Structure 1
Amino acid sequence: MSTLVDASQPSERRVRVWFGEHVIAEYTAEPAKAIRYQAAMTRRFYSLRVTIEPAIPVVNLDAVDS
């Protein structure tokens, strides 16, 4: 079982490259690296959508309880 951790300001960003409705690449890193990755993927895949958003941490409750 997993749950979201309440984080008002996530410190990492998630970058995704989309082919239609399918994610073909995903990268999570600190903001500066994520922005560089987003720029590189936008240049490389100029016809695809590239998104960047806060990474929401997920905690596995089974691992926490053991």
Structure 2
Amino acid sequence: MTTLAAAPQPTARRVRVWFGEHVIADYTAVPEKAIEYQAGMTRRFASLRITIEPADAAVDLDADRR
């Protein structure tokens, strides 16, 4: 008898919109929704930097200022 392992669950993605060094939008969702959000933000804020990364890998840049 063959047993199949469950498919790995997709990991959440974190999308951030940056104005210089300041985050002006922060959104975390499943990969499909995060990609849709990133596309919308890219259209709306074409001149700003927009990042997408695994949510568990995101680091709070203000953590050392607290």
Q: TM-score, normalised by structure 1?
A: 0.70
Identity between Structure 1 and Structure 2 (%): 78
Which consecutive residues of structure 2, in runs of 5 or more, have no partner in the other structure? 1-8, 58-66
List per-residue Cα deviations over 1:2-56 (Å, max 9, x = no partner): xxxxxxx871000000000000000000000000000000000000000000001
> How many equivalent residue pairs?
49
Q: Which residue of 1 aligns with 2:47?
A: 47
Q: 1:16 to 1:31 in 2, by over 3 A?
A: same
Greater relative contact order, per chain length (Cα 8 Å cut-off, separation 6+):
1
What's the RMSD between the two structures over aligned residues? Answer: 1.8
CA distance in 2 between counterparts of 1:10 and 1:51 reads 18
Q: Which has the larger radius of gyration?
A: 2
CA distance in 1 between counterparts of 2:51 and 2:41 reads 10
- Verify the 8 A CA contact 1:10 1:56 in the aligned structure 2: no
1:16 and 2:6 aligned: no
CA distance in 2 between counterparts of 1:19 and 1:10 reads 29
Q: Which of structure 1's runs of 4+ aligned residues deviate more than 4 A?
A: none
Q: TM-score, normalised by structure 2?
A: 0.70
1:56 and 2:50 aligned: no
